[in-house]
Amino acid sequence: MAVLGNPQNTIEVLNKYKFVVQKKFGQNFLIDTHVLDKIILAADITKDDFVLEIGPGIGTLTQYLCENAREVVAVEIDRMLIPILEDTLSAYDNVTVLNNDILKLDLNALVQERNNGKPIKVVANLPYYITTPIIMDLLERHLPLINITVMVQKEVADRMQASPGTKEYGALSLAVQYYAKPYIAANVPPNCFMPRPTVGSAVISLTLHTDSPILVLDEKLLFKMIRASFNQRRKTLVNGLNNFADLSFTKEEIQQALVSLGISENIRGEALSLGQFAALSNVLHGIKKKIQPSL
């Protein structure tokens, strides 16, 4: 069996099937065994684990997952890759390949059926154009997950683990950190892929919180506030929240809530920590409940 982490073997497989890389699917195949080892290590894959892999490509990372995990389900959107995967994964009896769009798959049903509803690990080398939607979809579905370990564009990884007050800090940082603890396990230069991407990459591992570190009374309100705060970064938080069409608080109510938390009325959203956003959303949630007319 050809180990696909070897560049020569990858070229042979692509030539054998006359496979043409699909730009629309953002296909870049990993050709560095050291990086593959780092992904397995970062995801902490053991023989007890059920792993969901997103975007297996020609099966490079899948082979490593099969060697290290109990069971692997790999979801590939490009039907042209399915015969290649049947070939490159033929030595393994612990893998199932699904030709599907991960955003359209009922993952709760999959976890229930294949792993008795017990928590799983997700590993992916994601197309960069759809990285954020896929990660947020996985987090927002409240699936039983232990961790998500993904190869992403370096700047996206930096944004996911950014701290308040930095230029990388934004809505993505807060959304990811609300659900998980991010850790950049490895930086990956373009020459580790075929074809070479134009940007650097990084392996980031998101360990899901077993108990949320912050109390939030209204999740939807929190995320609306976060979006409003970074919609126009240069505005003060008060103006950002007040001008956001999806929120209905007066300027005075927002100022009053900030004062009650000991936060300056002139602060910008980019300076607030996740804990402060949560506290502010809880105070505003209380205001909203008070002003709703009783039936």
Residue 293 pLDDT class (50, 70, 90 cuts): very low
CA–CA distance from 237 to each of 33, 211, 241 (Å)? 46, 28, 6
CA dihedral 4, 65, 155, 81 (to 10 degrees): 50
pLDDT in tens, 215-267: 999 999 999 999 999 988 788 999 999 999 999 999 999 999 999 999 999 99
112 with 233, same domain: the answer is no
- Span 9-15, mean pLDDT? 79
Which positions ≥6 away from 256 have C-beta within 8 Å? 287
pLDDT at 85: 96
Kindly state whether residues 47 and 91 are assigned to the same domain.
yes
Three-class DSSP category at 54: strand
Could you tell me if 127 and 193 are in contact, meaning their C-beta atoms sit under 8 angstroms apart?
no
Residues 112-149 pLDDT 10s: 999 999 999 999 988 778 889 999 999 999 899 999 99
Q: Please give the structure tokens belonging to residue 85.
A: 């995967």
pLDDT value at position 4? 74
Average pLDDT, the chain: 91
Q: What is the pLDDT of residue 295?
A: 41
**Secondary structure (3-state) at 214:** coil
Q: What is the CATH number of the domain that holds 223?
A: 1.10.8.100
Query: According to the model, what pLDDT value does residue 294 have?
Result: 45
Q: What is the pLDDT of residue 2?
A: 64
Per the structure, the complete domain to which residue 137 belongs is given by: 7-208
Name, in order, each residue with C-beta under 8 angstroms of 121's C-beta and a sequence gap of 6 or more: 43, 44, 45, 49, 50, 51, 52, 69, 145, 146, 147, 148, 149
Q: What is the mean pLDDT of residues 183-198?
A: 91
Task: Please state the pTM of the whole predicted model.
Answer: 0.90
Tell me, what's the pLDDT at 113? 96
Is position 276 within any domain? yes
The reply to whether 65 and 108 lie within a common domain is yes
- Claim to verify: residue 138 and residue 238 sit in the same structural domain: no
Residue 213 placed within a domain: no
Which residues, at least 6 apart from 174, have a Cβ–Cβ distance to it below 8 Å? 226, 274, 277
Q: How many folded domains does the chain comprise?
A: 2
